[in-house]
Structure 1
Amino acid sequence: MSVIGQVEAVLVGKAVPYARGVESAINKHDVTGPQQVSFVGLVDDEQGDKRIHGGVEKALHIYPREHYAAWQHELGEKPVFEKAGAFGENISACGVTEHTVCLHDKVRIGSTLLEVSQGRLPCWKLNIRFDQPDMALKLQETLRTGWYFRVLEEGVIAPGDAIELVERPYPAWPLSRILEVIFSGSLDEAALRPLMSLPLVDSWRKVVERRLDNQQLEDWEPRLFGRQKMVK
């Protein structure tokens, strides 16, 4: 095993009324000491809408701390950037990004064994959190989305834990490569067809299949802007 990063903070949150009549647990706070992790995530964490968030394929969301400096440079010194958790992440980490982790990487953090399952599809709740009407779109365009882990072995994780690479079955497929194809809106069969050979989660596989079969892109406005529409 090789150390590829480190956990800077572990964060949990409770589902509370948020905006537009929905609940969210995006406002997470850091916790100290070892935290218990089950197959669906941190035991003390919640999700506002479990149809979209959480579950086995999205058990833990990790966000690179390195991205914060880029966001501060681009958006200014917003108070939300002052500490970890700005993006509703469960793990704030350094040393790993979408460009350096690959699909299905297996990593050891604390006593857990985790597997990279998918990138994040950012949604309109980020627009409200950052007081930035196109924040979700910005995450998508920059590929600075963070990603999700599925839990292969339950255990505990804690701030300061090393992130150790156990196995990398798809070294040619960093998450950024997959995100670029999907988020660029590519309909190019030469770009899409190789994705079909990967163990994508069902929702991402269906995106690729629809593009190949119908040569049509998804309507992302509901996810990115909610009931709002981007002003042209």
Structure 2
Amino acid sequence: MTEVFAICTGQPKSFRGNETSAIDKRPVEGPVGIGVLGIAGDSVADTKHHGGVDMAVHHYPHDHYAVWNAWLGEHPLLAGPAAFGENLMVTGLTEDGVHIGDRFRLGSALLEISQPRQPCWKVEHRFGRMGMVARIIERHDCGWYYRVIEAGEAQAGDVLECVETGPEDWTVARLFAALYDPAHRPSRAELQDIAALERLCQPWRDKVRKRLEA
């Protein structure tokens, strides 16, 4: 069990030119509802690439902040909340210690890890630093998304308790590396394993199947 020290939400705001983003999130005071499409008061700007039932809640490990601070040079965003646009601020869980399909109780809600988070240009624009996406791919510090199995309510100070473990061969870090890190090209057998992960979101499984058919 690990304590969630902040639950953060945001609404789309001007981000770059005519583009908007909800990556700028702030802590919620008191209890907040968690439904199948995410946390009450949270939203996404790019509905093509974000949001939906398989990306309802975003978790980026707070454990990575110190390493980023060393690399970026004490960036002010890292002193505030949700620097990477995460909904849950938590220490003690990282990509190499959680699995696709792990289920967690948070307050009265039940969450399930559905996919790693694919990094995009918005992280680099937010921090004003190129090279962050490449570093995430190299280190597999990607974060992940949850789908909501049981809607409920939670607040800062609640614990995130793992109540069921997914396939132990497939940590979030290993799956992300297999599909995004050129240094970890998966074998055909590994791709077949990934395609068979029932709790991995369907779009990722479909992409893997297309690779197998190519």
TM-score > 0.5 by shorter chain? yes
Q: Indicate whether 1:191 and 2:190 are aligned.
A: yes
Total equivalences in the alignment: 211
Aligned 8 A contact 2:114 2:145 in 1? yes
Consecutive unaligned residues in structure 2, runs of 5 or more = none
Alignment check: 8 A CA contact 1:103 1:170 kept: yes
TM-score, with structure 1 as normaliser: 0.86
| CA distance, structure 2, for counterparts of residue 39 and residue 191 of structure 1 | 30
Aligned Cα root-mean-square deviation (Å): 1.4
Quick one: distance in 1 between partners of 2:152 and 2:186?
A: 41
How far apart, in 2, do the equivalents of 1:126 and 1:161 lie?
28
Amino acid at match of 1:194: D
Q: Which runs of 5+ in 1 are unaligned?
A: 215-232
Whole-angstrom distance in 2 between the partners of 1:29 and 1:191:
39
Q: Which one-letter code corresponds to 1:107 in the other structure?
A: F
Select between 201-210 and 97-106 the one with higher mean Cα deviation.
Answer: 201-210
Q: 1:131 aligns with which of 128, 136, 143?
A: 128
Structure 2 counterpart SS, 1:80: helix
Quote how far apart the aligned CAs of 1:189 are. 1.6
Residue matched to 1:222:
none
Structure 1 CA distance, aligned partners of 2:159 and 2:63?
16
Counterpart amino acid of residue 179 in structure 2: I
CA contact (8 A) 2:9 2:25 kept: yes
Q: Match of 1:211? A: 211
Q: Which AA in structure 2 matches 1:191?
A: E
What is the TM-score of this pair, normalised by structure 2?
Answer: 0.93
- Structure 2 counterpart of 1:107, from 104, 107, 116: 104
Deviation at residue 187 of structure 1 after TM alignment: 5.4
Task: Tell me the alpha carbon deviations over residues 88-130 of structure 1, each in whole angstroms, 9 at most, x when there is no partner.
Answer: 0000111111111111111100110010100001111111101
Structure 1 residue ranges, 4+ long, deviating more than 6 angstroms after superposition = none
2:169 alignment partner, SS class: coil
**Cα displacement string for residues 158-199 of structure 1 (whole angstroms, at most 9, x for unaligned residues):** 111111111113122211111110112325324322212212
Decide whether the 8 Å contact of 1:65 with 1:84 is kept in 2: no
In the TM superposition, what whole-angstrom CA distance separates every residue of 1:208-232 from its partner, at most 9, and x where no partner exists?
Answer: 1232222xxxxxxxxxxxxxxxxxx
